[in-house]
Amino acid sequence: MIPLNIVNYPNPILKSQSELVTDFTDLGELIDVMFQTMYISKGLGLAAPQVGISKQIFVIGCGKEYTFINPKIVAVEGKQYGPEGCLSFPKLFLNKSRPNKVKIQAYNQQYQPFELEAEGLLARAILHEYDHLLGVLLIDNVENKELTKSRKILNALEKCYKNE
């Protein structure tokens, strides 16, 4: 399998809300290639919009592999603050506040419904990838000082995108 190309900021698909998956046939190969792409890129998670597919799917490899199709956040609790990166923002890490715990419902790779409660890094990864499905990016909902210190990287990504 050939890995997928990761879409970088400021590609408009990253700011778009993803569509629900209504046809579960033939998702297995896409999900497998998403995991492969995520691992090759050294990420903890990858959402379908990050590979140019506007569908509500994301994968996470954080101690264990998880597939989330048509996910829904049921509850969040607590608070954590720390560094966060994104494959669609190469070389950029921002300190960001997130809930420390999350409860999520979704369908897995076998198209079976499940519910998962997670905390810490896994909760952060789930919430980050879930944001991608809503068109919310790493640079959204962060303190201004975080954006200011990352302006050089953001300008370079914007320039690269214009030259494509």
- Tell me which residue of 70, 76, 72 sits closest to 58, measured CA to CA: 70
Three-class DSSP category at 50: helix
The answer to whether 14 and 7 are in contact (CB under 8 A) is yes
144's enclosing H/E stretch is: helix 144-149
Catalytic residue among 29, 129, 143, 146: 129
**The Cα angle at residue 66 between residues 60 and 71, in degrees rounded to 5:** 90
Q: Strands 93-98 and 113-119: what pairing?
A: unpaired
Active site residue 164: no
β-bridge partners, 85: 93
The answer to whether 131 and 45 are in contact (CB under 8 A) is no
> Could you give the residue numbers annotated as active site?
129
